[in-house]
Chain A
Amino acid sequence: MIGFHSAPSSGDVLEMLRTMRLIREFEEAAGQALQAGHVRGSVHQYTGQEAIAAGVCFHLVHADFVSSHHRGHGHAIAKGVSPARMMRELFGRQGGTSGGKGGSMHIADFSHGMLGANGVVPDGVTIAVGAAHAVKMQRRNAIVVAFFGDGAMNRGPLFEAFNWAKLFALPVLFVCEDNGYSVTLRTRDVTGGPPAVERVRGFGIPVTSVDGNDLVAVAQASRGLIGQVRCGGGPQFLHATTYRWYGHLAHDRGLYRDPLEVERARQDDCIVNAERWLAQRDVGAGRLEAIRLDCSRTIECAVEEALAAPFPLPASAFTDVQDIGGPG
C-alpha cells in the first residue's frame, strides 16, 4: 500500500473541479446532440466517473501520455484536448480531432499526449504499454497512464500487458475505473473467483484502491503513484471504484439496473463531493457557480461551433489510408 501524500490545496481542487465540470457539461451536451440526431453511432458517457480522469491527470505534465477506451471523453479533456475540437469530431465535422473520420471512440490528440480512445477492449492498454516501452527506450522524461474499465479485467491481452509492463519495468500507471458493469452485466456476475483486481497482485504490480467518487482521495493516491512511476519504479495499479450514471452508451437506458442503485450512486456525486470539500474550506458558493457557468458556456460554444462547421470534403474519405497502395 502506498502512503497517501498531503491533501491538495483548495486551489488545486478548484482546478480539478473545473475539469470535472467541463467533462460533465460535455457529456450532457453530447447526449443531447445524439438525441437530436447531430451525433451518429455511439456516445459512451463518462458522467459520474469524472473524479478519476481529473484527479489522475492533474499530476501529469504535457510530455506525459494517456490512453483511453470507448468511454474516453473525460480523459481527453483532462489531458488538455480542446472540447471544441472534440465536439466537432462527434458531429463529424472538419476541424474535429480526427477530421471527422474517427468519431467519439477515436478521439486522440498527439499534441497533448492523448494517444487515443479505443473501440476495442483492452487495446488502449496494450498500446499504452507499447508506448511506455518506447518511453523507456528513448529515455524520455515521461510516463504513460492507461485508463480502462473493470470489464477489461476479463480480457486476455490485458494480462499480457501486465506481464510485459512488469517484465520490462515500464513507466506506466494502470488506472482501472471500476464502475461495476461490463456493458449490461455486473462484472462480479461474470467473474470467477475473487474480484478480478486481485489478479493484478499476482504479477507483482502493487495495487492501490481508492474511492473513485472522492476527488481528493483520487488526487492524493495518484500523486503518490505517479511519483513512483516517474522515479523508474515500474508499473503501478490504481483501482478506483465508481459508478456509471447512464447506460453503457447513450442509447442504453440501463433498464437492467435497479433504479434505487442508480439513485444511490447519484447521491454520491463526485462533483458534489468535491464542492462540499471546498465549501468546508471556505470556498464560496459563488465561485463554484461561476465555474459551472463558465464550463457550461464553453460547451455551448463548442456545440454552436460544431453545428456551424462544414462536413469533411468527400476526398478526405480516401486520404490517410496508407502511403503505398492507397484505397485501390
Chain B
Amino acid sequence: MSRMTYAQAGCLALRQEMERDANVWALGEDVGPEGGVAGQYLGLQKLFGPGRIVDTPISESMIMAAAIGSSLLGMRPVAELRYADFALCAADEIINQAAKARYMLGGQVRVPVVIRQPIGMRWGMAAQHSQSNENLWVGTPGLVVVAPATPADNHGLLKAAIRADDPVVYMEHKELWLETGEVDEDAQPLEIGRAAVRRAGSDITLLSWSSTANACVAAAGLLAAQGIDAEVIDLRTLWPWDRDTVFASIRKTSRVLVAHESPRVGGLGGELLAEIAEACFGRLLAPPTRIGSPRVPVPYSKPLEDLCRVGPGEIAAAAAAICGKPR
C-alpha cells in the first residue's frame, strides 16, 4: 500500500501494463517529456522510449485512427485525447470506426483501444474545456465506458481497461488529479462493470460516479447530521452499469437520487432512473429523482460556473427533500 495521487495511480497502472505486455503503447499530445497534462504519463517515455510513449501532433482524428489501425494488427494502444471536449474531434473515429469495426466486419477483429478523455470542470476552463459527455458514449453500441473516482479505482480500472478486448472510453476527472488515496501497487485489475458501495445506508440510495460520487459521500455526511442514513453507490463503469448492486440497494432503501455533473436533460441519470423505475417500481417510496447541471454551456466566471456544479450541498438538499416526500 502506498499513498499516491489519482494521476500517479494512473501512471503506475500504465507502467505496469506496459511492463507486462509489449503490445501496449500510448500516444497523444505532450505525453512524452511533459508527462501528460496532469503527470499521468510522467517518466514513462524515459522508461519505454519514444517508440512506445509517442508524442503526437494535434491531430485527434489521426491519434484515434492510429490507435484503431494498430489494434487491428494486434497492438493494445492507449489513446490520450487530453480532454473529453477534444475527443469530439475524433468522434467519427470513435463512434463510426472503433465502436463498430468488430461488428461490421463480422467478428474478424477486436479493437482493444483505451480512449482516455478527462472530463469535468476545473479551474474555470469554460465551455470547451469542462464538459462531461458520458451519455454520448454510453449511447454508442460497442463501447465500454469507465469513470473512476478514487486513486485505487483509477489504478485498478485503467489496468482492466488496457486488458479489455473492447474499446474502452476512459474518463478521468480533472478535478481528481491531485486527490490522494491508498493504492495497493500489487492489486489485480478491478472488474469492469462492478459498482462500489462507498457508504452503506438504509434511507436513500445516492447513485453517482466520478467526482460527483465523492460529492455524494460528503453529502451523506451532511445527511447523517439530519438523521438520514444514505447509501452511496459509485457506478465506476457507466456501460455496462452494475444493475445487481444498484437494484439491491434501491430495494433496500426504497428511495433513489442520481447525481451527475453533466446536464440533467438528456443525461445518463434519466436512463438509469428509467431502468430503475421498470425494475423497482413497486419498492419505491418516493419519486426517483435526478440532479445535474442546467442545460447551458459551462460558463467561465466562478459564480456562474458554481451554478453548474452539483456539490454535496445540492445533493444533500435534494436527498432530504426526497426523504421528506412520501409517494
Q: CB within 8 Å of B: which residues of A? A: 65, 96-102, 106, 108-110, 115-116, 118-120, 123, 126-135, 137-138, 140, 156-157, 160-161, 163-164, 167, 319-328
Contact = CB atoms under 8 A, between A and B. Distances in A.
B96 A120 contact: yes
Interface-central residue, A115, A156, A320, A325, by most chain B CB under 10 Å: A325
A120 B73 contact: no
Contacts of B96: 119-120, 123
Contact of B73 (A102, A119, A131, A324): A131
B319 interface: no
B104 A128 contact: no
A127 B166 contact: no
Contact of B106 (A98, A130, A163): A98
B66 interface: yes
B102 interface: yes
B62 A161 contact: yes
A168 to B, nearest CB: 8
Contact of A321 (B68, B97, B103): B103
B73 A325 contact: no
A99 B107 contact: yes
Interface stretch (B35-43, B139-147, B244-252, B309-317): B139-147
Interface in B71-122: 71-75, 92-93, 96-97, 101-110
A103 B182 CA distance: 51
Contact of B141 (A120, A132, A324, A327): A327
B74 A134 contact: yes
17 contacts: A108-B108, A110-B72, A120-B96, A126-B61, A129-B62, A130-B68, A131-B69, A135-B73, A163-B57, A164-B57, A164-B66, A320-B106, A321-B141, A322-B141, A323-B165, A324-B193, A325-B240
B193 A127 contact: no
Given A131-B70, A157-B62, A160-B61, A322 B25 contact: no
Given A156-B61, A157-B92, A322-B142, 18 more contacts: A98-B104, A98-B105, A110-B109, A123-B93, A123-B97, A126-B65, A126-B69, A126-B93, A130-B62, A130-B72, A134-B72, A135-B73, A137-B70, A160-B57, A161-B62, A320-B107, A321-B142, A322-B143
B273 interface: no
Contact of A132 (B51, B69, B167): B69
B109 A164 contact: no
A134 B73 contact: yes
Contacts of A119: 96
Interface-central residue, A137, A140, A327, by most chain B CB under 10 Å: A137
Given A138-B73, A138-B74, A120 B92 contact: yes
Nearest to B241: A325
Nearest to B167: A322
Nearest to B271: A328
Given A130-B69, A133-B66, A157-B61, A325 B144 contact: yes
